[in-house]
């Protein structure tokens, strides 16, 4: 089923990991995908793989903390493909640090993409999406990647929890704002558990200190989830596809938790 036929989608932080999986899932569902990442070569590689598989995509280098970069990549999407229908604010960073040891420079490094990037992307995404002619008969969709760290606290990642909790409540406020303004744009957040990506493995360094073997880290990650396995990037991509498509046309301002049961305990 081509659930995203005719829809133009921008996915940030999509050179690898969850972002790349989302971009590939969107393309497989018929979407035209604008792939962006601070790693410009990686973004172009993801886009090239989509095109090689018969999909439509373009890759761009993109610093999500730069408003000028947001204007440029959103403008490129509109110029090349005629508009914008779906925005996935996926780009972000992870840092495990005790609050007493954290420096203000580390906080700014973390909060830049995790908070400012989401705010700027949402601002410019809405400007491009709200075209009433384009929204006639379909909804725009903004999907913000938060984390289970935006729902529950965890020692030594308090600043990361702060950023992801901010994404959660920002998402709800934007959902209400778009509804009040009559834009027909929905906004929802996804809250992954521990996903088997570079960032997820970095998170396992805190949960399993001293365990260096990747296979052993994955075993520890599996034990952390009631379902008995670490999440995969495709698990999050399928959730994003649901929120991007008209299957979720009556869903806004909510959090979709994809965590193998961690927060159900």
Reply yes or no on whether 160 is catalytic. Answer: yes
CB burial string 115-144: b at 16+ within 10 A, e below = bbbbbbbbebbbebbbbeebbeeebbbbbb
Q: Which of 36, 160, 184, 186 is catalytic?
A: 160
Rounded-to-integer distance, Cα 116 and Cα 119, Å: 5
d(CA 233, CA 39): 19
Q: Distance between terminal CA atoms of the chain?
A: 35
Query: What is the C-alpha to C-alpha distance for residues 85 and 183, in angstroms, rounded to an integer?
Result: 12
How many CA atoms within 13 Å lie on the side-chain side of 262? Answer: 24
- At residue 90, the 3 state secondary structure works out as coil
Q: How many other CB atoms sit within 10 Å of the CB of residue 109?
A: 14
| Active-site amino acid positions | 160
């Amino acid at each position: 089923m081509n659930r995203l036929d005719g829809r133009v989608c921008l996915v940030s932080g999509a050179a690898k990991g969850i972002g790349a999986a989302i971009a590939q899932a969107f393309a497989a569902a018929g979407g035209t995908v604008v792939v962006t990442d601070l790693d410009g070569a990686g973004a172009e590689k993801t886009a090239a793989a989509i095109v090689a598989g018969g999909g439509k995509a373009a890759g761009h280098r993109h610093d999500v903390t730069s408003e000028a970069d947001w204007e440029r990549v959103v403008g490129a999407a509109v110029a090349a493909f005629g508009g914008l229908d779906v925005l996935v604010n996926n780009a972000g960073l992870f840092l495990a640090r005790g609050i007493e040891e954290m420096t203000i420079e580390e906080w700014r490094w973390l909060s830049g993409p995790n908070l400012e990037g989401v705010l700027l992307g949402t601002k410019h995404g809405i400007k491009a999406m709200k075209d009433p002619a384009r929204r006639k008969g379909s909804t725009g969709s903004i999907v913000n990647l938060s984390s289970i760290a935006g729902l529950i606290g965890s020692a030594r990642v308090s600043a990361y929890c702060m950023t992801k909790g901010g994404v959660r409540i920002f998402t709800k406020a934007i959902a209400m704002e778009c509804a009040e303004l009559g834009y027909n744009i929905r906004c929802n957040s996804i809250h992954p558990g521990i996903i088997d990506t570079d960032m997820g493995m970095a998170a396992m360094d805190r949960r399993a200190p001293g365990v260096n073997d990747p296979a052993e880290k994955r075993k520890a990650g599996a034990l952390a989830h009631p379902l008995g396995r670490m999440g995969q990037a495709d698990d999050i991509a399928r959730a994003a596809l649901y929120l991007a498509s008209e299957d979720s046309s009556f869903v806004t301002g909510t959090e979709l938790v994809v965590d193998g049961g961690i927060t159900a305990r």
